Chains A and B, each alone.
Chain A
């Protein structure tokens, strides 16, 4: 994607969103694609996955704010399941492709994508459509299934979790973009950005037997994405996290983007129709000061396409 296209699309979004959206065309001109107002959270609705990301990242200040030339980027989707994109158990492949394109356009040296999948990984990568989408966009796809790639780190601020084995790509990359898909979850009510981090961890099974919600919150004290992009284009409303059939899925055509995982999960839970206070790990993370559930204090840009 060329920067000029970015610009045009960003401008289009500004117009579409109407006068309430305070995007200054001057600011953009001078900043070369970056918006003048720095938003804490951007929510987009009504577009295709790629278009929604274009507008959201534009509004956040452009991908250049996060990805600098020559940097190593890791993008972590949810791709835990051997299901097709229509089943919405995995992150949308079009969205993944677009994020990879943006990162490469910003001069990223390498863009890596992986997940510690739950179903057999080669089938997940293939049938989710993510492997092909990412490779075609110029990204590199890696197995998340070799134990040797995970290294133990201490979780100083953890209440339940004291140590955790995290994938080296997360530990070593310059930029970490977390791209969960919003979906229902039998054990944790919803699975959004914090829950998605279980896919960068090796010894996660222990969590299930040791206060799962606390562990999910604990890991965010040490694993901190630079940016969270919540895919709510297709949303698995029930039988999550895997779903049984396409009839479990609704089309919401939405996307939420923010640096704050707690805010991301709070907004996404509301979008889903759940009270975020009912979701243990969101509440705990807020209490621990890992982010904010109070969306009224955030500068939010709401874009309807």
Chain B
């Protein structure tokens, strides 16, 4: 095989990876089975490492494959597997098509930046604070947030337009789906990173991957000593410089005939442009064993109790502004016209945010979640929303169960099935139904039945276990009563409660998830079929 075909193979692989990864991050119809989704994210380096830390098993060995690939062939990950890397290539390609051809040239490495950004997340982690450095810099998670937070709403908007057109033609192949905008502040990080990526890829090729990306730098340390490296053959080289012009990593010095393989992202453009076959993979003399990467450890404590009531007003208003200017989003739900005659007065006292089922508790979740938002995209009810400071600022962007947006569907376990980092561990449907994320609390004084003597029962109606049930009250009225032991903390009651500004029923999250007791079962007498109608 001629090495020139390496580029073709790389491009095919890259397209497969970016299309598949991008699609699972914007899909809202659950078109891919979860096993396929797990396969697509299997090789993502940081999530795989984190999953391995919490659960040493075959499904978490993706990063080992990446390390082996790197030890043999350099940073194959960066051009063929990493969706953010491929995304930059796509952006550069678009730029090339729209403006004059861009010429790259050799540049010196920015060592301080590189190793600074590699060390920083570990310092933050090891000083016992948080995963924030890793989650903000992990390329897969950055890509995830750009696609999930910014592109999914656009995809939904396009889908809804198209579905509307098809429906008017009496075709129901597509269906419209509500767009649930996240709070405005949560758009700042993905928008900033998207901007940075566009700027870097338009002007400096893969500068991002060689200065900011800690995965790139880490794999670069290994590729420096890999078995095969791209090198220049002095006898054949005419110093025409075509390879350097094609090198988006700016790592080929024609003057010295050297390739800085630690910065090479493995795109193979140089091999394919060289007219003399003077640059190619060669067996490196004196290659040594690959060093083990530092294993992640440490713990994060979410700082302080959270005050979710305060954030409400400001943030939702900002929702459309930042990222989606130009689009008018439809009203977010049918729940906008809530009116109780007397405003409720008692504010729910929430001690902890609620983490998704399978995440074991706040500590496990916040120390493993890189905030890639794959679960946010996959969640069919949009109850999973990026947090701002629910977990403290150090957990920004990590999703939490937002019961003002929606509630967790009792029978659904999709977030636990797709999570690539082990932050949300796999649950069975039965296991989910007995996992208690938090416990129901009732403020009877806020309840519309109690305060205004009118029938409601919305909370009990939504409750899958009858942890809130309606018991006889005045006349024909029924009043909610809670049985916290059988509550799963799904938030259906809180979401459904119609009173404002404060709910009469809410879920207070558990620091560590508990086991919910199963509801009591009492057999009913079957009716007599022979009996006449009672009318």
A residues apposed to B, CB below 8 Å:
43, 45-46, 82-83, 110, 116, 118-120, 122-123, 127, 140-143, 145-148, 185-189, 202-206, 208-213, 237-239, 241-242, 244-245, 247-253, 266-267, 270-271, 273, 278-280, 295, 300, 302, 304
Decide: B461 and A187 in contact? CB cutoff 8 A: yes
Q: Which residues of B contact A119 (CB under 8 A)?
A: 409-410
Decide: B521 and A247 in contact? CB cutoff 8 A: yes
Cβ contact of B410, chosen from A82, A211, A212, cutoff 8 A: A82
Decide: B172 and A120 in contact? CB cutoff 8 A: no
Cα A238 to Cα B470 with chains together (Å): 11
Q: Which residues of A contact B330 (CB under 8 A)?
A: 147-148
Cα A110 to Cα B170 with chains together (Å): 10
B176 within 8 Å of A (CB atoms): yes
The 7 closest A-B pairs by CB, nearest first: A187-B457, A186-B460, A186-B470, A146-B176, A209-B340, A209-B498, A186-B457
In the assembled complex, how far is the CB of residue A148 from the closest CB belonging to chain B, in whole angstroms? 7
Decide: A211 and B454 in contact? CB cutoff 8 A: yes
12 contacts between A and B (CB under 8 A): A43-B535, A146-B176, A185-B461, A187-B455, A208-B457, A209-B448, A210-B339, A241-B461, A242-B461, A248-B524, A250-B526, A295-B535
Decide: B461 and A205 in contact? CB cutoff 8 A: no
In the assembled complex, how far is the CB of residue A130 from the closest CB belonging to chain B, in whole angstroms? 15
Chain B stretch 429-486: residues in CB contact (< 8 A) with chain A: 448, 452, 454-458, 460-466, 469-470, 476, 478
Decide: A82 and B461 in contact? CB cutoff 8 A: no
Q: Which residues of A contact B478 (CB under 8 A)?
A: 186-187, 189
Residue of A nearest to B167 (CB): A142
Cβ contact of B178, chosen from A116, A145, A278, cutoff 8 A: A145
**Inter-chain pairs besides A116-B334, A270-B534, 18 sampled, C-beta below 8 Å:** A46-B529, A119-B410, A120-B412, A122-B29, A143-B176, A147-B178, A187-B457, A189-B478, A202-B334, A210-B454, A238-B524, A239-B466, A244-B464, A244-B521, A250-B526, A251-B527, A267-B535, A273-B534
Decide: B334 and A237 in contact? CB cutoff 8 A: no
Q: Which residues of A contact B331 (CB under 8 A)?
A: 147
Cβ contact of A209, chosen from B177, B338, B412, B523, cutoff 8 A: B338
In the assembled complex, how far is the CB of residue B405 from the closest CB belonging to chain A, in whole angstroms? 13
Contact with A along B335-356 (1 / 0, CB 8 A): 1011111000000000000000
What size tier do the contact residues of chain B reach? 35 or more
Q: Which residues of A contact B498 (CB under 8 A)?
A: 205-206, 208-209
Residue of B nearest to A248 (CB): B524
Decide: B533 and A271 in contact? CB cutoff 8 A: yes
Cα A122 to Cα B30 with chains together (Å): 10
User: Given the interface contacts A110-B170, A147-B330, A244-B464, does A205 sit within 8 Å of B519 by beta carbon?
Assistant: no
Cα A43 to Cα B175 with chains together (Å): 37
Q: Which residues of A contact B160 (CB under 8 A)?
A: 146
Cα A166 to Cα B72 with chains together (Å): 64
Chain B stretch 506-530: residues in CB contact (< 8 A) with chain A: 519, 521-527, 529
Cα A46 to Cα B454 with chains together (Å): 38
B369 within 8 Å of A (CB atoms): no
Q: Which residues of B contact A211 (CB under 8 A)?
A: 454-455
Cβ contact of B455, chosen from A141, A188, A244, A252, cutoff 8 A: A188
Decide: B456 and A43 in contact? CB cutoff 8 A: no
B299 within 8 Å of A (CB atoms): no
Cα A237 to Cα B532 with chains together (Å): 19
Q: Which residues of A contact B519 (CB under 8 A)?
A: 244-245
Cα A270 to Cα B533 with chains together (Å): 8
Decide: B534 and A271 in contact? CB cutoff 8 A: yes
B380 within 8 Å of A (CB atoms): yes
Decide: A123 and B524 in contact? CB cutoff 8 A: no
Decide: A203 and B466 in contact? CB cutoff 8 A: no
Cα A288 to Cα B26 with chains together (Å): 50
B411 within 8 Å of A (CB atoms): yes
User: Given the interface contacts A82-B410, A187-B457, does A146 sit within 8 Å of B476 by beta carbon?
Assistant: no
Cα A271 to Cα B448 with chains together (Å): 31
Cα A251 to Cα B412 with chains together (Å): 28
Which of B176, B380, B461, B466 counts the most A-chain CB atoms under 10 A from its CB? B461
Decide: B534 and A204 in contact? CB cutoff 8 A: no
B381 within 8 Å of A (CB atoms): yes
In the assembled complex, how far is the CB of residue A210 from the closest CB belonging to chain B, in whole angstroms? 7
Cα A270 to Cα B411 with chains together (Å): 33
B499 within 8 Å of A (CB atoms): yes
Cα A123 to Cα B29 with chains together (Å): 11
Which of B331, B340, B523, B524 counts the most A-chain CB atoms under 10 A from its CB? B524
Residue of A nearest to B465 (CB): A244
Cα A91 to Cα B60 with chains together (Å): 44
Cα A302 to Cα B534 with chains together (Å): 11
Decide: A205 and B172 in contact? CB cutoff 8 A: no
Decide: B337 and A206 in contact? CB cutoff 8 A: yes
Decide: B457 and A185 in contact? CB cutoff 8 A: yes
Q: Which residues of A contact B172 (CB under 8 A)?
A: 140-142
Q: Which residues of A contact B522 (CB under 8 A)?
A: 247
Cβ contact of A247, chosen from B454, B457, B499, B523, cutoff 8 A: B523
Decide: B466 and A244 in contact? CB cutoff 8 A: yes
Decide: B170 and A209 in contact? CB cutoff 8 A: no
Cα A304 to Cα B170 with chains together (Å): 41
Decide: A242 and B464 in contact? CB cutoff 8 A: yes
Decide: B535 and A208 in contact? CB cutoff 8 A: no
Cα A239 to Cα B462 with chains together (Å): 10
Cα A192 to Cα B466 with chains together (Å): 20
Q: Which residues of B contact A145 (CB under 8 A)?
A: 176-178
Q: Which residues of B contact A253 (CB under 8 A)?
A: 529
Cβ contact of B499, chosen from A127, A148, A209, A251, cutoff 8 A: A209
Which of A82, A205, A302 counts the most B-chain CB atoms under 10 A from its CB? A205
Cα A269 to Cα B135 with chains together (Å): 57
Q: Which residues of A contact B339 (CB under 8 A)?
A: 206, 209-210
Decide: B340 and A186 in contact? CB cutoff 8 A: no
Decide: B469 and A186 in contact? CB cutoff 8 A: yes
Cα A280 to Cα B449 with chains together (Å): 14
Decide: B458 and A205 in contact? CB cutoff 8 A: yes
Q: Which residues of B contact A142 (CB under 8 A)?
A: 167, 172, 175
Residue of B nearest to A240 (CB): B461
Q: Which residues of B contact A122 (CB under 8 A)?
A: 29-30, 380
Decide: A43 and B499 in contact? CB cutoff 8 A: no
Residue of A nearest to B451 (CB): A209
Cα A143 to Cα B534 with chains together (Å): 38
Q: Which residues of B contact A116 (CB under 8 A)?
A: 334
Q: Which residues of A contact B164 (CB under 8 A)?
A: 148
Cα A206 to Cα B160 with chains together (Å): 26
User: Given the interface contacts A122-B380, A123-B380, does A82 sit within 8 Å of B409 by beta carbon?
Assistant: yes
Cα A226 to Cα B330 with chains together (Å): 33
Decide: A203 and B334 in contact? CB cutoff 8 A: yes
Residue of A nearest to B467 (CB): A244
Q: Which residues of B contact A241 (CB under 8 A)?
A: 461
Decide: B380 and A118 in contact? CB cutoff 8 A: no
Residue of A nearest to B464 (CB): A242
Q: Which residues of B contact A143 (CB under 8 A)?
A: 175-176
Chain B stretch 151-165: residues in CB contact (< 8 A) with chain A: 160, 164
Q: Which residues of A contact B457 (CB under 8 A)?
A: 185-188, 208, 212
In the assembled complex, how far is the CB of residue B191 from the closest CB belonging to chain A, in whole angstroms? 27
User: Given the interface contacts A147-B334, A271-B534, does A213 sit within 8 Å of B411 by beta carbon?
Assistant: no
